[in-house]
Amino acid sequence: MKIYTKTGDSGETGLYRGGRVKKDSARISSYGNVDELNSQIGWIRTLPIGDEADQYLYRIQNDLFVIGADLATPEEAVKLGDNVTRILPDSQLFMEEAIDLMETRLEPQRVFILPGGSPAAAAIHLARTICRRAERGVVSLARTEHISPQVVIYLNRLSDFLFVLARDQNRLAGVNDVPWQK
């Protein structure tokens, strides 16, 4: 099987079970942002972040792949009886538990924190900003097309998780968070 099909040479791409759209459509942009986020997390996993963080991020990468497929499959394209993978309700709960656990190890946050500190924390902060962009794109898409509300919930919680994970990586590296100076 060839990786190139030439079907996108005219600026269009195919949706999963759902026809063709322009490559700059809100739907394509939304799952493109999710794909970029997944790639950034994959890069973070190559850094020395520890087994706990790596396991969390591996699970998140798998969930983001499902979210990408979810976004690539318009509701109207799903035929009765088709088995389409969608992100499950409550799929963000493990991140809430992880946030609670990590916060027990962190000093309480008393100031705004700038992205940075250790290399791993800086990379995680970058993932957090990509996540916020992905979330904004999905919210925008949801104004015109049906999108599972669980996708927005997951991305919102993920950005919180990434913020706390960055702080925890600074703690593990023995590096202070970077405080905002007025």
Establish if 8 belongs to a structural domain.
no
Residue 73 structural domain: 18-176
> pLDDT tens digits for 68-116?
988 988 776 666 556 778 888 999 999 999 999 999 999 999 999 999 9
Establish if 132 belongs to a structural domain.
yes
The parts of the chain modelled with pLDDT lower than 50 are none
pLDDT for the residue 45: 98
How far apart, in whole angstroms, are the C-alpha atoms of residue 121 and residue 168? 8
pLDDT for the residue 56: 98
pTM, two decimals, is: 0.90
Tell me the DSSP string of 36-74: HHHHHHHHHTTSS--HHHHHHHHHHHHHHHHHHHHHTS-
Establish if 99 belongs to a structural domain.
yes
Establish if 71 belongs to a structural domain.
yes
Establish if 75 belongs to a structural domain.
yes
pLDDT for the residue 7: 56
Establish if 12 belongs to a structural domain.
no
Establish if 1 belongs to a structural domain.
no
pLDDT for the residue 82: 66
pLDDT for the residue 86: 84
Establish if 10 belongs to a structural domain.
no
pLDDT for the residue 136: 97
Return the CATH number at 93: 1.20.1200.10
Number of folded domains that form the chain = 1
